[in-house]
Chain A
Amino acid sequence: MKTAKMTSMERVLTTLSHKEPDRVPLFLLATMHGANELGISITEYFSKAENVAEGQLRILKKYRNDCIYSFFYAPLEIEAFGGKVIFSEDGPPNTGLPFIKNLEDISTLLPPKIRSAKPLHKVLKAIQILKESVKSDVPIIGVVMSPFSLPVMQLGFDKYLELMYYREDLFNRLMQVNEEFCVDWANAQLEAGATAICYFDPVSSSSIIPKEKYLETGFQIAKRTIARIKGPTATHFASGNSLQLIDDVSKTGTAVIGVSAAEDISLIKGACKNKLTVLGNLDGITMRRWTPEQAAENVKNIIEKAAPGGGFILSDNHGEIPIQVPDEVLLAISEAVHTYGRYPIGSNP
């Protein structure tokens, strides 16, 4: 039986309800490729809301994507706290030296206010432009760094781990500040027109901290934070492993889990069944050297394992496709999703 063609929004909502839509939704999370589409540098591209909005609209059309991804770059939130961002022409903007130099400074740190944090305004403006354009036909995915993962850029990873293990007082204080900011920032994006929020939380991954530590920290923080975000969320582990956490992640109130390419998608799908929609898990690093044929084969394999029954969105494993991935590979991924992703899965040529 064929299913009638759906809009991207209908397709995504159907899969989120663990039913089979007309085909597998494609979330091609290309942030920097929009600069190529506009023929401008990455630095210039991210300097204006209009550039990113236009770039996302071109990606939507060119790759027949099923979402708009209003994510600019990870250290944007660090700019809001007054930290520095280093732009590069061959990769995503990177955070500079951590702005919290002394752990004791955490005791006086305050969450930035959205209305006075200028770096955030271009994202809100881009979301508004995009919403005006796609209306309710295509979901717009906003992004926040989780309160638990943001300190990697605020303090540096090494100092953050030492804080987590040795300075519970300051750790709790930093989480309080970051939770306030995260909730405000997520809700501002939803008010601007975002449909859902991607909650990036790589530090909670079992690649980074043991499960016992996650249950004491990242899990509790996610439960509190997600409960205050006024829209659906997807939790993304940005290449980190999460298979052993799936039951717990489903209890944080999130609807989707972004998973690693290093874990078996069949096992992940089995563990997530009727609890979480799986987002993943093409490997973004090796993707740059794939041929179009390899790209199609990789998409087909993942779809066969994870798509039956719905509850699955095809995407990369990291939430940010490297600019080094050629357009023909992205086009091949899209074509493969449109070919092999038609439901019912299993009866396609």
Chain B
Amino acid sequence: MNKFRFLIDGFERALLTVDRSAVDEIFAKSIELGSSIQVAGELVTQALERIGNAWESGNVSLSQVYMAGIICEELIDKILPPMSSERKGKPTMAIAVFEDFHILGKRIIYSSLRAGGFELLDLGNGLTTEDVIKKVEENNVKILLLSVLMLPSALKIKKLTEHLAGTDVKVIVGGAPFRIDSELWIEVGAYAMGKNSADALEIVTKLMGETV
């Protein structure tokens, strides 16, 4: 039984209304009830998954998803500092904005995963295929999350996945073109596609479990 279950509704509501004092109050209660990793996994992740799913069904807006993500990231950083041994950081996971500079999607996923107790590298924005290949090799990245906004950027991922074919790097894609065209992620050779932060948390949780 989730020991934070009676806090989740209020936490979600406070996040959606960007009510910082209510968020802080509920979070303070939660850390009295469980370990840092439990708060990240059972309160924060669950609230962010609900918000991600609500966006998918059109009931909340992107700004609410984003603000919830960065608020939670900040809260979790206080109890699970970057590089904390309790964070789930192996195998190495990284995220980047591919080809364009529209970074909101990346920031949402980055914050949500970090707020969920994961650790990941931010490889940057506007990266080309060559940039990504270099950074993946340098950092021994095994799980690569790529965010795009523009259709031409999405189509260029194919060249990257062709280059990475035969390696154990798994490329997970997300962004507007993939949300609209449900076959596009297959066309570009991605391992998986996430439509929102809830999908990202689910895919990464499963992959981390498989590859640890």
Residues of A within 8 A of B (CB): 86, 88, 90-92, 94-97, 156-158, 161-162, 164-165, 206-210, 213, 239, 241, 261-262, 283, 285-286, 288-289, 322-324
B59 to chain A, nearest CB (A): 10
Nearest 5 CB-CB pairings of A with B? A91-B152, A157-B104, A285-B180, A90-B152, A158-B107
B18 at the interface (CB under 8 A from A): yes
27 A-B residue contacts at CB 8 Å? A86-B101, A90-B152, A91-B150, A94-B101, A95-B101, A97-B126, A157-B66, A157-B103, A157-B104, A158-B70, A165-B18, A165-B67, A206-B58, A207-B58, A207-B61, A209-B61, A209-B63, A213-B61, A239-B176, A239-B180, A261-B180, A285-B151, A285-B181, A286-B181, A289-B181, A323-B152, A324-B155
Does B142 reach chain A (CB closer than 8 Å)?
A: no
In whole angstroms, what is the CA distance A207 to B181 when docked?
17
CA distance A275 to B64 in the complex (A): 30
Q: Which residue of A lies closest to B156 (CB)?
A: A90
Q: Is the interface of B mostly helix, strand, loop or mixed?
A: helix
B42 in contact (CB, < 8 A): no
By the criterion CB–CB under 8 Å, are B151 and A210 in contact?
no
Q: A322's closest neighbor in chain B, by CB?
A: B151
Q: A88-B152, A91-B151, A161-B67 are in contact. Are A96 and B101 (CB under 8 A)?
A: yes
- Minimum CB distance partner of B64 in chain A: A210
Task: Report A-chain residues with C-beta under 8 Å of the C-beta of B62.
Answer: 207-209
Task: Give the most central of B125, B153, B180: most A CB within 10 Å.
Answer: B180
Q: Which residues of B contact A161 (CB under 8 A)?
A: 63, 66-67, 104
In the complex, what residues of A have CB within 8 A of residue B67's CB? 161-162, 165
- Chain A residues with Cβ below 8 Å from B177 are 285
Contact of A157 among B70, B102, B155, B176 (CB under 8 A): B102
CB atoms of A210 and B60 under 8 A apart: yes
| Residue B100 at the chain A interface, CB threshold 8 Å | yes
B: interface residue count bin: 20 to 34
Known: A157-B103, A285-B177. A213 touches B63 (CB 8 A): yes
- A contact patch SS: loop
Q: Which residues of B, 86-124, contact A by the 8 Å Cβ criterion?
A: 100-104, 107
* B119 nearest CB across to chain A (Å): 20
Task: Please report the C-alpha to C-alpha distance between residue A23 and residue B155 in the assembled complex, in whole angstroms.
Answer: 37
Could you list 7 further interchain pairs (A-B, Cβ under 8 angstroms) beyond the known A156-B103, A241-B58?
Answer: A92-B150, A158-B70, A165-B67, A262-B180, A286-B180, A322-B152, A324-B152
Give chain B residues whose Cβ lies under 8 Å from the Cβ of A91.
150-153
A166 to B1, CA, bound (A): 37
Specify which of A95, A158, A208, A324 lies most central, judged by the most chain B CB atoms within 10 Å of its CB. Answer: A158
Q: Are B61 and A208 in contact (CB under 8 A)?
A: yes
Chain B stretch 49-77: residues in CB contact (< 8 A) with chain A: 58, 60-64, 66-67, 70
Q: Which residues of A contact B152 (CB under 8 A)?
A: 88, 90-91, 322-324
A137 CA / B151 CA spacing, docked (Å): 34
Give the docked Cα–Cα distance between A261 and B153 (Å). 21
Residues of B within 8 A of A208 (CB): 61-63
Q: Judge whether A210 and B176 touch: CB under 8 Å.
A: no
Q: Which of B104, B126, B150 contacts A158 (CB 8 A)?
A: B104
- Alpha-carbon distance between A283 and B181 when the two chains are bound, in angstroms: 9
A94 to B152, alpha carbons, bound, how many Å? 11
Residues on A with beta carbons closer than 8 Å to the beta carbon of B151: 91, 285, 288, 322, 324
Closest to A206 in B: B61
Complex contacts, A90 vs chain B, CB 8 Å? 152, 155
**Chain B 124-154 interface 0/1 with A at a Cβ cutoff of 8 Å (1 = within):** 0110000000000000000000000011110
Once bound together, how far apart are the Cα atoms of A332 and B102, in whole Å?
Answer: 33
